[in-house]
Amino acid sequence: MAEERGSTVRLRIDLAYDGGAFYGWARQPRLRTVQGELERALHMVLRVPDGDADEPLRLTVAGRTDTGVHAAHQVCHLDVGEPTLERCVGHMAVPAVEALRRRLSRALPPDIAIHGIAPAPEGFDARFSALERTYVYRISDAARPVDPRTRGFVLALGDRLDVEAMNAAAAMTLGLHDFGSFATPNPGGTTIREVKHARWTRIPDAPLVPAAESRGEGYATPAAESGLLCFTIVADAFARNMVRSLVNACVKVGQGRRTVEWFAGKMAEPLREGSTGPIAPQGLTLEHVAYPPDDGLAARAEAIRARRTL
Amino acid sequence: MAEERGSTVRLRIDLAYDGGAFYGWARQPRLRTVQGELERALHMVLRVPDGDADEPLRLTVAGRTDTGVHAAHQVCHLDVGEPTLERCVGHMAVPAVEALRRRLSRALPPDIAIHGIAPAPEGFDARFSALERTYVYRISDAARPVDPRTRGFVLALGDRLDVEAMNAAAAMTLGLHDFGSFATPNPGGTTIREVKHARWTRIPDAPLVPAAESRGEGYATPAAESGLLCFTIVADAFARNMVRSLVNACVKVGQGRRTVEWFAGKMAEPLREGSTGPIAPQGLTLEHVAYPPDDGLAARAEAIRARRTL
């Protein structure tokens, strides 16, 4: 009933998830998705019937992750009527947003964690205000023994990869390029993106516990990510399948199955074909979404909306 | 057929596993266990029928982990007839031990990883030669946001724990003690053990990629274990349930539900009762088993065998 709703508040929700058991972020009929689970839980704790045409609880997300891709730090927003939000306080002696955070956390499965809920600043849009996204792809190659505990977010490969060659390829992605060889365009969309950072790093062996805290002699437990090969990529935004396709191409170069020149050709002539498809999703994590300071949010969102609708 | 067997070789097998889907190490009828899976795979790749009374392939392990407990570095040994071992070379142009390693790795499920197989030095016994075992228990408390990707090997607790109080308790375990309050004795066995190191540490926030490799400004992805509270304990050996029971008691102290004096009383009077049961298994990992230099292996095994059968 529209009369009851009064004014609307926009909430910023920060969260993380293990993507292993989800068909990606985006809600799909009859498939388990992160958006689907979150919206189901929101309808439950806010006591709004799912399918209420007057008050649909729909999330807008910063990075629509694919099937099997994880998020260590994802951001979305929700517009909700103030009376609806207030209703979820119930018998809790806390502000409505904190009550929502607690109830939502309890209603969610263990593969989704809410890191924070707060009223969004003026002009905030989880998708269009975002300045840049950071993704990391983690690989366990032959340089280190496989750790089965981390196999849900690390891809194991039997080869030993040539990091230098992979970085020669990765360096070519820096700047504004058409990533048409490495991405599936949205209908009417472009595959032009600006990559700000792209680098493969062998994570050094490091003890889990700092030396000062451990005993002077004997065995030191290594950090779980010691020896992994990690690809960090930062861009304003990513086209569909772009990170996993770039990773797959770099890995082929690192294995010696393709040359750096082949990669250069793919960058020079943006054309989607079989050799540049995406690598397995489980190694990929959305690590961060950055936003401008509060007074730049609205301007950023307007600029992005204008550019993407050209 | 005993005539065919000839001499026997002892193999040392180093491995790791995600314990989440196993009913512990020890073989049990109709339950999925690490030993059961390994012995099944060994029978298959060495082409010895399971149940062959002449040549049972039975593993001896350094640390019998409980249901749900992981191993980043476990050690076991296998005695196998040389002709049987040689048979597994097949068409491979590699030594028999390397052929076994490759075939075994392929035959195992993804939650077990073989790190190495080698002929054991003279006098080696995976269980009785071991000098000490290192376990780590990982907790994500309220001091940091939960990372759902690591929930298989990190226990999430809603409280913020008092590390100083927990370390006051942990320090009391150092040295030779009867851990009867914190362990289930084996029939005819003792709960006296020597703890060499026991300490809770808050893992400092550290970037996954060293600063020199990352871009100068902007977001730095944290290492996945940043901010965790980790308990490292090293002892000659552990009694059944001992690590998880000590962790549970320390956590109760850290939550303020029990006092350090209560812990001291449990150390002083070794008596098993309800308040000192084990904590959930998923946070626990066997991280390392240490052995003496090759020329001390047999002496160590004899000394331990003598002591444990007193």
Q: What is the pTM of this model?
A: 0.94
A3-7, A166-170, A234-238, B248-252: range with lowest mean pLDDT: A3-7
Residue B309 pLDDT more than 60? Answer: no
CB pairs under 8 A between A and B: 143
Can you give the pLDDT at residue A300? 84
Q: Which of B18, B66, B125, B141 is catalytic?
A: B66
Q: Which residues on A lie below 8 Å from B145 (Cβ)?
A: 16, 113, 115-116
Higher pLDDT among residues B83 and A303, named by residue: B83
B137-155 average pLDDT score: 96
Q: Is A25 buried (19+), middle (13-18) or exposed (0-12) by CB count in 10 A?
A: buried
As a whole number of angstroms, the distance between CA B217 and CA B198 comes to 38
- Is A17 part of any known ligand binding site? no
CATH number given to B132-290? 3.30.70.660
Q: Is the ipTM of this complex over 0.85?
A: yes
Can you give the pLDDT at residue B1? 43
Report the sign of the C-alpha dihedral through residues A146, A147, A148, A152, in that order: negative
Distances (CA, A) of B18 to B53, B112, B146: 31, 7, 20
CB B199 within 8 A of CB B164: no
A72 and B285 within 8 Å at the Cβ level: the answer is: no
CA A230 to chain centre: 15
Domains B2-119 and B132-290 share a fold: yes
Can you give the pLDDT at residue A196? 96
B147 and A72 within 8 Å at the Cβ level: the answer is: yes
Q: Which residues on B lie below 8 Å from A230 (Cβ)?
A: 208-209
A57-61, A276-280, B306-310: range with lowest mean pLDDT: B306-310
Distances (CA, A) of A238 to A178, A194, B103, B215, B222: 11, 9, 41, 19, 21
Residue A155 pLDDT more than 50? Answer: yes
Can you give the pLDDT at residue A308? 56
Alpha helices in chain B (DSSP H): 2-5, 34-45, 82-87, 96-107, 163-171, 242-254, 260-268, 297-308
Q: What is the DSSP pairing of strand A155-156 with strand A132-140?
A: parallel
Domain limits, chain B = 2-119, 132-290
CA nearest to B218, candidates B203, B227, B204, B207? B207
Within 10 angstroms of residue B302's Cβ, the number of other Cβ atoms is: 14
The counts of H helices and E strands in chain A are 8, 10
Higher pLDDT among residues B269 and A301, named by residue: B269
Fold of A132-296: Alpha-Beta Plaits (3.30.70)
Residue A66 annotated in active site: yes
Q: What is the DSSP pairing of strand A70-81 with strand A8-17?
A: antiparallel
CA B264 to chain centre: 27
As a whole number of angstroms, the distance between CA A179 and CA A117 comes to 35
Residue B133 pLDDT more than 80? Answer: yes
A173-185 average pLDDT score: 93
For B177, the 3-state DSSP assignment is: strand
Distances (CA, A) of A241 to A244, A284, B289: 6, 11, 43
Residue B201 pLDDT more than 60? Answer: yes
Q: What is the DSSP pairing of strand B132-140 with strand B155-156?
A: parallel
- DSSP symbol at A46: T
Instruction: Express as a percent the part of chain B with pLDDT over 90.
Output: 80
Residue B5 pLDDT more than 60? Answer: no
| Among the four given CATH numbers 2.40.110.10, 3.40.50.920, 3.30.70.580, 3.40.1010.20, the one describing domain A2-119 | 3.30.70.580
